[in-house]
Structure 1
Amino acid sequence: MSAGGTYKRLLGESGSGGLEHADGAGAPSPPDPERLITQLSDEIGWLEEHLRRKADQAARERLMRGAERAVRKVVDEGAEAELDSRDLLRLEAVVHSDGSRPVLFVEDDFFDAADPAAANWAASLSRVQAELRTVCRAVGRVNDPSAPLGYQGSAWAIDDGVVVTNYHVLEVISAHPSRIDGEFGGVLKPDVEVDFGGEVGGGPSDRVFRISRVLGVGREGAPERAHPTVPRVNFDGLDMAVLELERVRGRPFPTPVQVARGDDPATHGALASRGRGVYIVGFPGSSLSTRPDVFAELFDGVAGVKRLTPGALTEGRGEVEGDARNWIISHDASTLGGSSGSLVVDLDAEGRKVLGLHFAGVPDRVNWAHRLEGMTPELAAVVPGWGSL
């Protein structure tokens, strides 16, 4: 297996800091294996202190040995390095810890700037602290008591008591799901809910709301337009579901996020452009993960908690191959199963406009999101109060 996206991130961005830009000048310096392994060890040590628990020693030793072996393979063989799935998993842990594409725990609706992995991003993220806190509060975990890990994905507040997630998340929290022309057929499972807390250590307990009904779903793509190599991905369809939550007396819903709209005369639907800095908030690490969370091997129980992952858009409007509707953008922020339904937020401007709805990816290759500016008519049809600007 080629090193793919992980190799490019590791070789091209380790130690460089800041955001990735399409016109970045200058050749990257080769990675320093000793520095990268030290950073990984420092990150594990910080997590031990922060989580107040020791990492599984055997898992830590396996990770460190495997990471060093994989990094040295990249250094020695360059772009031609042949890496198996275990190599890529260990390299991903290095990327998470070296500052290029970290996975940061959300606590008290923010991230801990003292995390060594946050160093390259702390200034950019802190600059939009107020906006980031609003976004973090608006993201919830889709709880499903029947699921092995107790949840199925992520959702976020687009209106008062209304959340957006993926249709494929709705499918697994429903019985006999179907969709025809934006109408949902099926029955929600009992006791499915959205938990807007879900932080490491538990977080606030008064942010849980039962899902009461489905307001609308995205259209299904034509079967002949299905992705040729990635199962259940169809760029002709819209992997979206809009859900209404049940009110709880004395418990306010989170403030809805601001969504980039295609009918905004100030932006003309062009915010989601290649190279734009973004961050994602969601709940990586569900039972649907195609790639296990390497830190969950070390610290039992960290899966399924709210995390923030910064990155950049790698393809903008009209640049994703096979996207005839201009609905798809791609990004390189770190994601896992459970990230499905997460929001992709602009970081370069005010740090608050939601540009995309993450729905799928290929590990170490690409992550895809629906471009919300291209979905304005579909959202306006089902979200209360979403008329013209």
Structure 2
Amino acid sequence: MTADTPRRDPPRRASHLLRDLSRVREALRPEGVEALVSAHLPPSWRRPTSVAGAMSADALRDELRSVLATGAQVLARLEHAGEDATLTDVEQVALETVVAFFGRPALAVRNGSFGAPPVGWEVLEQHREDIERTIDATGRIELAGSGLLGTGFLVTEDLVMTNRHVAVQFCRHASGGWVLRLGVVPQVDWLGEHLRDAQAAFPISGVAAIHPVHDVALLRLGTAKGASLRPAPLRLASRAPGDSASRALYCVGYPLKDHTRTPPEVLLRIFADAFGVKRLQPGELLSVDPARQQLAHDCSTLGGSSGSPIVDLETHAVLGLHFGGTRQENHAVALWQLAEDPLLRRAGLRFDSP
């Protein structure tokens, strides 16, 4: 495909996700672009050697300025021509970058909180305290000395929920059930924030349950050495959300670099090559599939987000357990449909409990 090939899908997606194109375009005036560049690639940011070949940090900042300025021009065209506007590949990438900043952002978490929400997501500010509780109770599942495997969140005082496909990387099935593999040291770090070396790591001492049908696992926490953060468990939804149309959600997780679903140049601009660190990712509920006991959502997840909680922005109860997706939509286990599941009940999970 050449740079002049017209594309029609991105304008429709942008019109839906950005909602108010004129407000976003106003936010992309030169002073707004400069503020975004300064916040995203601050003077303290140093270009990792893995990024963009020999481009300097200043060159990357200039490129981001140019892309956002192009995005503003594309938005002006969309306001005039509507969803029938056609885009070249260059314009599509610029529009996807704008959508990533304003429509489905991946906000960096620092010191247990997040920065000022972008245009279109000001509602997050009204829920900051509740969101911070979700942030606290979500951690990196990793192998000591090896790295990030996925995300998990606290569901009881000593149980962490994650995906089965995350847990089997360090668990095995034995005659008496699931056990930890010999020689591995899995742990949950409740921090894992960008530009912060502090840890609040608890060892994973065992496997409470791995679901035979759904991509769900429950891991038992051990005792951390010394003083360490011990967050409060999250509430699990006991019933389906009300009107699912445009219902706001958010996800907390540790997205890893993944070029299969998002263009690499967009990934660089969104994440500044800071992957595997804690992020807040708002989005919407797209649909519910009762037969499969799943939901679809459009939060900006990547590999590493597996095991993230999908949380209702209105009630702050966990609706789903994220496990994967495509460029069109992401998928999660619909937890309220497992409220009577025998395996989860035996593990002591409570739904919609304080």
Task: State the TM-score, normalizing by the size of structure 2.
Answer: 0.77
Provide the alpha-carbon RMSD of the alignment: 3.9
> Aligned to 1:373, which of 336, 340, 349?
336
CA contact (8 A) 1:103 1:334 kept: yes
1:218 paired to 2:207: no
Residue 25 of structure 1 is matched in structure 2 by none
The verdict on how the C-alpha distance between 1:307 and 1:298 changes in structure 2, with shifts beyond 3 A counting, is closer
1:324 paired to 2:273: no
**Residues 48-88 of structure 1: CA deviation (Å, up to 9, x unaligned):** 33x7225634444555556666874985895584776x876
CA contact (8 A) 2:70 2:94 kept: no
1:154 paired to 2:151: yes
Shift of 1:256: 0.3
CA contact (8 A) 1:196 1:208 kept: yes
Residue 232 of structure 1 is matched in structure 2 by none
Distance 2:23 2:115 in 1: 29
The verdict on how the C-alpha distance between 1:293 and 1:279 changes in structure 2, with shifts beyond 3 A counting, is farther
Distance 1:271 1:366 in 2: 20
Distance 2:301 2:8 in 1: 17
1:246 paired to 2:218: no
Alignment of 1:101-120 (within 5 A): 101-113=104-116, 118-120=118-120
> Aligned to 1:96, which of 97, 100, 104?
100
Q: Which runs of 5 or more residues in structure 1 are unaligned?
A: 17-27, 221-237, 263-268
Residue 231 of structure 1 is matched in structure 2 by none
CA contact (8 A) 1:12 1:29 kept: no
Alignment of 1:30-49 (within 5 A): 35=28, 42-49=35-42
Residue 10 of structure 1 is matched in structure 2 by 14
CA contact (8 A) 2:8 2:83 kept: no
The verdict on how the C-alpha distance between 1:108 and 1:191 changes in structure 2, with shifts beyond 3 A counting, is same
The verdict on how the C-alpha distance between 1:376 and 1:88 changes in structure 2, with shifts beyond 3 A counting, is farther
Residue 51 of structure 2 is matched in structure 1 by none
CA contact (8 A) 2:170 2:180 kept: yes
CA contact (8 A) 2:253 2:280 kept: yes
2:107 maps to amino acid: L
Residue 129 of structure 1 is matched in structure 2 by 128
Distance 1:188 1:66 in 2: 49
2:114 maps to amino acid: F
2:138 maps to amino acid: V
The verdict on how the C-alpha distance between 1:145 and 1:107 changes in structure 2, with shifts beyond 3 A counting, is same
Shift of 1:367: 1.1
CA contact (8 A) 1:357 1:371 kept: yes
How many residue pairs were aligned? Answer: 332
Query: Which segments of structure 1 move beyond 3 Å, counting only runs of 4 or more?
Result: 1-4, 6-9, 28-42, 57-84, 86-92, 177-180, 182-186, 249-252, 269-272, 286-301, 385-389
Q: Which runs of 5 or more residues in structure 2 are unaligned?
A: 2-6, 48-56
Partner SS, residue 159 of structure 1: coil
1:355 paired to 2:319: yes
Alignment of 1:238-317 (within 5 A): 238-248=214-224, 250-251=227-228, 253-262=230-239, 269-271=240-242, 273-286=244-257, 290-291=261-262, 292=264, 294=266, 296=268, 302-315=274-287, 317=288
**Residues 107-150 of structure 1: CA deviation (Å, up to 9, x unaligned):** 2222112xxx523323x222222211111100001123565xx2
Residue 53 of structure 1 is matched in structure 2 by 45
Shift of 1:257: 0.5
**Residues 16-47 of structure 1: CA deviation (Å, up to 9, x unaligned):** 2xxxxxxxxxxx77985994897565422212
1:335 paired to 2:331: no
Residue 201 of structure 1 is matched in structure 2 by 195
* Percentage of matched positions with identical amino acids: 27
The more displaced of 74-83 and 151-160 is: 74-83
Distance 2:184 2:141 in 1: 13
**Residues 296-342 of structure 1: CA deviation (Å, up to 9, x unaligned):** 46876621111111111111x33xxxx623x1111122111111111
Partner SS, residue 276 of structure 2: coil
The verdict on how the C-alpha distance between 1:382 and 1:166 changes in structure 2, with shifts beyond 3 A counting, is farther
The verdict on how the C-alpha distance between 1:179 and 1:33 changes in structure 2, with shifts beyond 3 A counting, is farther
1:255 maps to amino acid: A
1:138 paired to 2:125: no
Distance 1:208 1:368 in 2: 28
The verdict on how the C-alpha distance between 1:178 and 1:369 changes in structure 2, with shifts beyond 3 A counting, is same
Distance 2:26 2:61 in 1: 17
CA contact (8 A) 1:151 1:286 kept: no
The verdict on how the C-alpha distance between 1:34 and 1:102 changes in structure 2, with shifts beyond 3 A counting, is closer
The verdict on how the C-alpha distance between 1:376 and 1:7 changes in structure 2, with shifts beyond 3 A counting, is farther
CA contact (8 A) 2:162 2:217 kept: yes
CA contact (8 A) 1:278 1:311 kept: yes
Distance 1:40 1:377 in 2: 50
> Aligned to 2:181, which of 184, 187, 202?
187
2:250 maps to amino acid: Y
Residue 224 of structure 1 is matched in structure 2 by none
Distance 1:257 1:34 in 2: 35
CA contact (8 A) 2:202 2:223 kept: yes
CA contact (8 A) 2:238 2:351 kept: no
The verdict on how the C-alpha distance between 1:330 and 1:145 changes in structure 2, with shifts beyond 3 A counting, is same
Shift of 1:288: 8.8
CA contact (8 A) 1:60 1:298 kept: no
